[in-house]
Structure 1
Amino acid sequence: MQESGQQARVRRARPETRSSRPLASGYESEFRVDLERLRFAPSFSRLAEVTQVVTAASTPGVVHNRLTHTIKVTAVARAIAVGLWSSSDQELLDRLGGLDHVVTQAAAVAHDLGHPPFGHLGERVLDRLARTRFGLRDGFEGNAQTFRIITELEVLGPGDEGLNLTAAVRAAVLKYPWGRFHWPDPHPSSWPEPPRGAAVGPRRSPSEDLSLGGVPAKFSAYVPDLAELVDVLGAFPGLAPGRQTLECAVMDLADDIAYSLHDLEDFHRSGVLQYSLVSAELREWATNRRELAATDGAELRERARRPGTGLERLRRRLVDKDAWVFDEDAFAEAVGSIGEEFVDGVLAVPHDGSMAADRAISGFTGSWIDRLISSVRLVADPPVRGSTVSLSTLAWHQVSVLKFVHQYFVLNRPDLAMQQRGQAAALTQLVTGYDDWLSDVHDAPRAPRRLVDLVQTAAAGYRRTAREHPEWLDHQTDEASLARMARGRGILDYVASLTDEQSFDQGMRMDGAGGRLWAGGV
């Protein structure tokens, strides 16, 4: 067990222990307390009414929401953790920092708490508004919002900030253990090879302020919460910069596995995935893979949606970003296995609501989850973009192709894009509406009490940061700047805590279109 083990199970006031070995029941109960605190939190219950990809009313089939997705990620994460603990070298587990299956489950339960209304679409909208309207350089990010919820915004009881979880669970949600800009130094975005999620991307839209420049894609703490992140990671002195804890790595991989399969299941049941289109894409790429590989980029773009070109673009992205794991033969084998087992074995027969149709898709999903879980392995010395917990080479390519099918044939649909543009407009209207309301000196006192509380909480965090780490605020520590940042962060915290339906309802009422007045104290 690493020397850091005694510190890793620390709440803000109470010590615990850590080991990859079975824990005495008295210690395990501390992790169980964390798990139950998360399960009983209102922010967890809210996930039942937050979009995974589409809302339940968008399709005749039953689709996952963020809560059902989270429950399944938790099951997969537990299975991976138990499997690794049972089959791996215990000395290697200790060297990698230790692995506890309850901590892993708690991380999985928490991992999507920060998702705003409408899922990833809402995340992009709030990030744009945060940076362009409020001048918050670190914008909005779902993972950072999760960390903020469990450490600051969720209410456990009198005098508590957040859920007062152990350091291990707080660390296990840090999928991208850095701030957007200022920590660590040098920042991972400037490393010769940035870790996954840290690469600097372009502006999100042509209208975005040029002075904001490109921003790292992913991170796990906003400026007011960065000191907490630093403190949590301080409990793991053996953890390399930019590296996840072992429990976090298991949770992250479980999320990938669940996402790659459950959304395909949803859209097959709903009749959205069409056999002819998916089959043609995989078949044409397999038949003409060498010709496609020799096609230059401009010509490939001109061919646009011709069968086979989407998979070829995926292949090239994987080569560019993940050459350390990419293998041409494994990619071709992954395309073949998914074509045979999912496309020909499941999609070839339209889902008609029968028990036989349900057996076909659920059998495929269950067998592939088992297959992917059984392929998980520990990696003693992973590359920068890799992880200490990884799939086999073939399984990694299979997950990449499964995610491509969902992205290419569902997320890129014009009808979904139209709905998402409406959702984006609703969120934009809501954020600007609350900003205008708080700017009205006569009517601001009547703003929602929770909104006012969140702005005050954010103000305290920015003032604390201005005293202790003014460099994290780029020395913008005058009262007007702090107040503007606090208002922006508080509004974002409030809007991100709403369900999809609450977002639409509150937006319509502020626009004068809503018919409901009394709303249970909101």
Structure 2
Amino acid sequence: MGTTDTARTTRRNAEAEAGGFADLVSSPFRIDRDRIAASPYFARLSGVTQVVSTGGSGLLHNRLTHSLKVAQVARAIAERLGADGEASAVVGKLGGCDPDVAEAAALGHDLGHPPFGHLGEQVLDRIARRRYGLSDGFEGNAQTFRIVTTTEVGGPTPEGLNLTTATRAALLKYPWLRLHRPEPHPATMDEPPRGAAEGEEAGTGSAKFSAYVTELDDVHQARAPFSDLVEPWQQTVEASVMDLADDIAYAIHDLQDFHRIGVLQHASVATELGRWLAEPGAFAALSDETLREVHGRPGRSLESLRRRLHAKDAWIADDAVFAGAVARVQHQLVDGLLASPFDGSVEAEQAMATFSAGWTARLADGVIITPSPTTRSGHVTLRQPQWHEVQVLKFVHRQFVLQRPDFALHQRGQAALLTSLVDALDSWLGDRDEADRLPRKLHDLVALASNEYGRLVRESPELLVGATGERIEGADAVRGLARGRAVVDFVASLTDAQAATMLEAITGRGGQPWSDSFVL
């Protein structure tokens, strides 16, 4: 094993290997993959929403089935890059791309997703910042990194999974903290990397990030072997492969889900795409103000997408290529898959499989390696046609599924559930008479967070700032941060059903004195 390979496997050591974990293979990267797959955090993803709760029907993707498909695509991309001599040479100069690392990162990339998916992520972030004063709030990618380095105890060491440096770096999809690191922060760049710009709420830092202040040392260790190979704000090649594979899987499989249950309707999608294709010049001539005023009319939303792509991704956006992407999606999705309602027949299932296989192959064939990418892209990206096609496919999902009023109603109920659960757990934590009867897992998370924030007070007090930027001082304030992080960690570790069942039990609405859906 060469010097670079040794650096990429750092964190695996003799003491850790003697810890009793029954690893079945000798490759350190395969061991990473197996440890993630054996984690209870991975198993719980079968009960975590991808877009809407599955309700046990088995008809919709959950976070587990999504992660498995992302891993499939990621490994295929990594193997293609390795088989291409020219691409392999470029990859080698950037730190390498091992298929096992790419697959492990893809399997683990959603470990931090809380109950109810992205909706749960938004709710817990607001609670973490506004209620508990945690300046780095909550973010699914950062929670994933916290799990594999800190809160998971299934590895051979007391904290984390003891993954190799390469795999931990590959999980850093957005390799910066919300506010503090690296310096200068990517958000200050003239053209910030994707996700680094400020979120919807002013003063809250980057919209996306992959670690909290409590895991800063782990970020430094994971990124150290790549410090002379990629920029501080750039993904490693393996992280870029995982990110792209996630995009590809998301663009295809969520559309299948909602066609399967009859939510994605042929007429509305056909009208939107067909109207824009009939007269793209007329839509382009509309002023931004007029476009906003008549946004609900067919074709207008697609025109808004075209303009957003030019505004955010001028490095690749092209009108002719965009039109070609719309035409391809219309032909294969609208005139193909959506032309016949899904009825569960063999013919319908075959059409679904053909659609999935065709698009996966089409997008995977468009993967390229770029030695010096724009700040808006990783080193592994798509050719121009496929890049535009992914944007159009994701647009269809966003416009005709996520924007539905009935979906919004469903999510408002989930948001209320999570907020009430946090309130109830926080109240329990504050009840001294009940301190000895706290869920053991919550008790352990409070102890862990208290140690972490105590260490920050001693070693890096400059990182302890509140949600509005004020310095956090005083034992009570620091205990408040630890308590907040522990409650958020606990709630984020539940499945959809566990969160609902626990709220029923803790508020007295449950009919049983205990439940087998979680371990107290």
TM-score (norm 2): 0.94
The question of 1:9 aligning with 2:14 is answered: no
Aligned to 2:461: 470
**Cα deviation, residue 91, structure 1:** 2.3
Instruction: Select 1:492's aligned residue among 468, 488, 492.
Output: 488
Structure 2 Cα separation of the partners of residues 309 and 157 of structure 1: 52
Structure 2 unmatched runs, 5+:
17-23, 466-470
Aligned to 1:226: 216
1:291–1:478 CA distance, 2 compared to 1 (3 A)? same
Instruction: Select 1:422's aligned residue among 400, 413, 430.
Output: 413
1:442–1:237 CA distance, 2 compared to 1 (3 A)? same
Instruction: Select 2:68's aligned residue among 71, 94, 116.
Output: 71
Write the letter of the residue equivalent to 1:6. T
Structure 2 Cα separation of the partners of residues 429 and 304 of structure 1: 36
Write the letter of the residue equivalent to 1:187. H
**Cα deviation, residue 291, structure 1:** 1.4
Moved more, 477-486 or 250-259: 477-486
Aligned to 2:36: 38
Aligned to 1:386: 377
Could you give the per-residue CA deviations for residues 407-441 of structure 1, whole angstroms, max 9, x where no partner exists? 00001111111010000000000011111111122
Aligned to 2:207: 217
Write the letter of the residue equivalent to 1:68. T
Aligned to 1:23: none
Matches within 5 A, 1:53-132: 53-57=51-55, 62-89=59-86, 90-132=88-130
Structure 2 Cα separation of the partners of residues 288 and 459 of structure 1: 61
Aligned residue for 1:462, secondary structure, equals helix
Aligned to 1:439: 430
Instruction: Select 1:404's aligned residue among 387, 395, 403.
Output: 395
Instruction: Select 1:509's aligned residue among 505, 508, 519.
Output: 505
Moved more, 248-257 or 351-360: 351-360
Structure 1 Cα separation of the partners of residues 502 and 254 of structure 2: 29
Write the letter of the residue equivalent to 1:197. G
Structure 2 Cα separation of the partners of residues 14 and 376 of structure 1: 38
**Cα deviation, residue 237, structure 1:** 2.0
Aligned residue for 1:362, secondary structure, equals helix
Given that 1:6 and 1:15 are in contact with CA atoms closer than 8 Å, whether structure 2 keeps it comes out as: no
Structure 2 Cα separation of the partners of residues 307 and 329 of structure 1: 20
Moved more, 324-333 or 289-298: 289-298
Structure 2 Cα separation of the partners of residues 506 and 325 of structure 1: 48
Structure 1 Cα separation of the partners of residues 406 and 58 of structure 2: 17
Could you give the per-residue CA deviations for residues 241-285 of structure 1, whole angstroms, max 9, x where no partner exists? 111111111010000000000000011111111111000000111
Given that 1:122 and 1:424 are in contact with CA atoms closer than 8 Å, whether structure 2 keeps it comes out as: yes
Identical amino acids, percent of aligned pairs = 50
Aligned to 2:21: none
Structure 1 Cα separation of the partners of residues 204 and 175 of structure 2: 19
Structure 2 Cα separation of the partners of residues 15 and 486 of structure 1: 30
Matches within 5 A, 1:27-426: 29-57=27-55, 62-89=59-86, 90-156=88-154, 159-203=157-201, 213-238=203-228, 239-426=230-417
Write the letter of the residue equivalent to 2:80. G
Aligned residue for 1:390, secondary structure, equals strand
Structure 1 Cα separation of the partners of residues 72 and 156 of structure 2: 32
Structure 2 Cα separation of the partners of residues 159 and 249 of structure 1: 28
**Cα deviation, residue 346, structure 1:** 1.3
Aligned residue for 2:308, secondary structure, equals helix
Could you give the per-residue CA deviations for residues 488-519 of structure 1, whole angstroms, max 9, x where no partner exists? 00000000000000101111122221112222
**Cα deviation, residue 2, structure 1:** 9.3
Aligned residue for 2:145, secondary structure, equals helix
**Cα deviation, residue 95, structure 1:** 0.9
Aligned residue for 2:27, secondary structure, equals helix
Write the letter of the residue equivalent to 2:135. R
1:243–1:28 CA distance, 2 compared to 1 (3 A)? farther
1:519–1:382 CA distance, 2 compared to 1 (3 A)? same
Structure 1 stretches of 4+ with a deviation exceeding 3 A read: 1-5, 12-16
Structure 1 Cα separation of the partners of residues 464 and 272 of structure 2: 48
**Cα deviation, residue 6, structure 1:** 2.8
Structure 2 Cα separation of the partners of residues 14 and 314 of structure 1: 53
Could you give the per-residue CA deviations for residues 52-80 of structure 1, whole angstroms, max 9, x where no partner exists? 0111239x771000000000000000100
Given that 2:173 and 2:235 are in contact with CA atoms closer than 8 Å, whether structure 1 keeps it comes out as: yes
Structure 2 Cα separation of the partners of residues 157 and 358 of structure 1: 40
**Cα deviation, residue 160, structure 1:** 2.2
Given that 1:202 and 1:213 are in contact with CA atoms closer than 8 Å, whether structure 2 keeps it comes out as: no
Write the letter of the residue equivalent to 1:378. I
Aligned residue for 2:233, secondary structure, equals coil
**Cα deviation, residue 189, structure 1:** 0.7
Given that 2:50 and 2:116 are in contact with CA atoms closer than 8 Å, whether structure 1 keeps it comes out as: yes
Structure 1 unmatched runs, 5+:
17-25, 204-211
Write the letter of the residue equivalent to 2:290. E
**Cα deviation, residue 88, structure 1:** 3.8
**How many residues get paired?**
504
**Cα deviation, residue 351, structure 1:** 1.1
Write the letter of the residue equivalent to 2:208. K
Aligned to 2:468: none
Given that 1:104 and 1:247 are in contact with CA atoms closer than 8 Å, whether structure 2 keeps it comes out as: yes
Structure 2 Cα separation of the partners of residues 33 and 125 of structure 1: 34
Aligned residue for 1:471, secondary structure, equals helix
**Cα deviation, residue 32, structure 1:** 1.1
Structure 1 Cα separation of the partners of residues 90 and 409 of structure 2: 50
Structure 2 Cα separation of the partners of residues 4 and 467 of structure 1: 34
Write the letter of the residue equivalent to 1:94. G
Aligned residue for 1:106, secondary structure, equals helix
